[in-house]
Structure 1
Amino acid sequence: MSDKSSTTETAKETIARLRANRQQRSEVATEVPQRHQSQNILEAQTKQGAKRASKQSGGISTVERKRAIHAITQRLLHGELTQGQALKTLRVEVLGLTQDQYANLVKVSRKTLSDVENDRGSYKTDILNRLFKPFGLKVGIVPISTGVTWLL
């Protein structure tokens, strides 16, 4: 019995070890400067390919959420992301929701959400606004060149 107890973790020891690991990861994450954290998340996603939302996705703070939304919209405005890529990144990174969960939230079909995220089809402005509304965003007209000047 002593051999078995020395090599087998008890449930309490396992829980304590997992909590210590989570705390250690949390401490390491706070060492990354906050203004670079959302950019690092986006770069990691690009390097790893598509990222999926899961039940394990943790929530982020309001400040981190705002920074992530800002970073993603900047990349969208600079042409680094398509509208669909931006929506998917927002859904996964900011809300941590699956397509089914998010489609139910914004009251569109999962197929419509999937098509928009994969830049398939052409959707009306009201559908796109419904998809971006949870992030405080809506479709608008923006200059296509930084050299565009406005006459008043």
Structure 2
Amino acid sequence: MPKLRKPTREEINAYRKRLIERAEAGALRYPLAVSEIRRTMGLTQEQFANLVQMTRRQIAEIERGEANPTVETMQRIGRIFGFTVGFVPKNPSDDEPEPALKM
């Protein structure tokens, strides 16, 4: 498994700002958000799982959109980046794929 490069503080802040902007616009969906939060922090799935007290397999399933996490689990993951779980209005473009965060 490839090792992720730990981003600098400036990179983390820039990634965080972009994620927050997308979240505020209602353009950030859960499976991709988890992956992007983890990669923004420069963590492997295993490291991130340890941080949020889950297994690597659970994180992988969430990132692939195959899991059905509880609200508590979503809150635990989101809290790391200052996010909370909530409803956002549906946009007509919601059916289009989300662009991935470029790192």
TM-score (norm 2): 0.72
1:49-64 paired onto structure 2 within 5 Å? 54-55=3-4, 57-61=5-9, 63-64=10-11
User: Structure 1 residue 74 and structure 2 residue 18: aligned?
Assistant: no
Could you tell me how far 1:53 is from its partner in structure 2? Answer: 6.4
Task: Name the structure 2 match of 1:140.
Answer: 86
- Structure 2 residues not aligned, in runs of 5+: 93-103
Matched, 1:116 2:65: no
Quote the Cα distance in structure 2 between the aligned partners of 1:119 and 1:73: 21
The SS at the match of 1:142 is coil
- 1:4 alignment counterpart: none
Determine which structure has more spread, i.e. the larger CA radius of gyration.
1
Give, in angstroms, the shift of residue 138 of structure 1.
1.7
> Quick check: 2:75–2:84 contact (8 Å CA) kept in 1?
yes
TM-score, structure 1 as length reference: 0.51
C-alpha displacement at 1:144, in angstroms?
A: 2.0
RMSD: 2.4
The answer to whether the 8 A contact 2:26-2:89 is kept is no
Q: For 1:106-126, what per-residue CA distance to the aligned partner results, in whole angstroms no more than 9, with x for missing partners? A: 101111111111111221110
Which protein has greater RCO, CA pairs closer than 8 Å, 6+ apart?
A: 2
SS in 2 for 1:135: coil
SS at structure 2 position matched to 1:136: coil
* Distance in structure 1 (CA, Å) of the matches to 2:37 and 2:89: 22
Give aligned pairs, total: 91
| Conserved 8 A contact 1:87-1:117 | yes
Structure 1 segments (4+ residues) deviating >4 Å:
none
**C-alpha displacement at 1:145, in angstroms?**
4.1
Q: Pick the structure with more helix per residue.
A: 1
5+ unaligned residues in a row in structure 1: which ranges? 1-51, 147-152
Write the distance in 1 (CA, Å) between the matches of 2:76 and 2:89. 23
User: Paired residue for 2:97?
Assistant: none
Q: Among all aligned residue pairs of Structure 1 and Structure 2, give the percentage whose two residues are the same amino acid.
A: 25
Deviation at 1:137, TM superposition (A): 1.1
